[in-house]
Copies of this chain bind each other. A is one copy, B any other.
Amino acid sequence: MKLGQATIKDIAKELNVSSSTVSRALKDYPGISDETKRKVKELADKLNYRPNAVALSLRKSKSFTIGVIIPEVVHFFFSTVISGIEEIAFANGYNVILCQTNERLDREKSSIETMLSNQIDGLLVSYSKETTDFEHFSKLMKLEFPIVFFDRLPDLPNSINVTVNDYDGAYQAVTHLISQGYKKIVHLAGPKNLTISKKRREGYIQALEDAGISVNENLIVECPSGTEKESFDVTIKLFEDVDNRPDAIFAHHDIVGAGAMMALKSIGLKIPEDVGVVGYSNWQFSSMIDPPLSTVSQPGFNIGEKATTMLLDMINNKNDYKKEPVHVVLDTELLVRKSSVRL
């Protein structure tokens, strides 16, 4: 800010009027002579006047800025969500402050503190994998501070949530595998404390039960870190017993699925002939790997849009979400590709 930005005062001084007159002229208030308005606007233009949003924030106790807490930008899914958030925020004159937690709770907490210091008007949150206690959120919610959670939902009453139908996505994926004749289906699951993981697991279990296949807990293996390497190792282990191998994998996201595919190839198993694989999230790469990975597509952009729209509604009291818990569920879509089709 060495910009030497012109202020209302500067304009007032030069024109020999008061700053209130300038302020009003700039906003086309009634009861200002056209002559004055013209002069003021002209000079403002000439001086390249730009209202100081910080002063405005202070004055109005409103910053027109929303905070976004996400685990990691580099996750394709989250980057699409951010796009949606940005779009709506921008269209409504709001700024977006971004903080990634890198899946760490301490980072999450301190980011929120900083954002609050900066007087954000509301918060969009997808919390970290380390977060199991939600008091830092509930504290704010009790004070009626606007928060919308997306993708990862807290175990809190009255939270406002936007997710996809993870249960249904998983159910569809597993049902599809069953329809292709796969019988012994592994679930490479996500961290237990995430609702999305729970829901996907439930969908997996229900699909099996509805097909009359008994659920074997040994076939549900957690891949908490979600890296390719982790799922590679887990998969190798699962397929160790040559006489008793699973014949399909439902992975809780595409990277995990891709890691599993590499493992399968490395031990000479053919996809989809020997083993079927379905992932989750429709990452950018999923259609390009070999064979193309079937997956459950989540509408990330829409999630961002919807969550932001709701948050702005809350901020501007257009809608009273307080009366009941709200949970918007967007539909997933099963994308069937080669990795899971053998009929």
Q: Which of A's residues lie within 8 Å of B, judged by CB?
A: 1-5, 50-55, 57-58, 61-63, 65, 72-74, 76, 79-80, 82-83, 86, 90, 95-100, 111, 113-119, 121, 140, 143-145, 258, 262, 283-286, 288-290
A79-B121 Cα distance, complex, nearest whole Å: 25
Do A53 and B117 touch (CB < 8 A)?
yes
Cβ distance A69 to chain B, nearest Cβ, rounded Å: 12
With A79-B73, A285-B284 as contacts: A118 and B95 at CB distance below 8 Å:
yes
Do A51 and B140 touch (CB < 8 A)?
no
Do A95 and B97 touch (CB < 8 A)?
yes
Do B285 and A52 touch (CB < 8 A)?
no
Cβ distance A306 to chain B, nearest Cβ, rounded Å: 18
A58-B7 Cα distance, complex, nearest whole Å: 13
Could you list 5 A-B pairs, sorted by A, with CB under 8 Å?
Answer: A53-B114, A65-B118, A74-B284, A95-B118, A96-B98
Do A73 and B82 touch (CB < 8 A)?
yes
- Among A1, A4, A62, A121, max chain B CB count under 10 A is at A1
Do B100 and A83 touch (CB < 8 A)?
yes
Do A97 and B96 touch (CB < 8 A)?
yes
With A283-B285, A284-B284 as contacts: A2 and B54 at CB distance below 8 Å:
no
Do A62 and B1 touch (CB < 8 A)?
yes
A74-B78 Cα distance, complex, nearest whole Å: 9
A131-B144 Cα distance, complex, nearest whole Å: 43
- Among A54, A96, A144, A286, max chain B CB count under 10 A is at A54
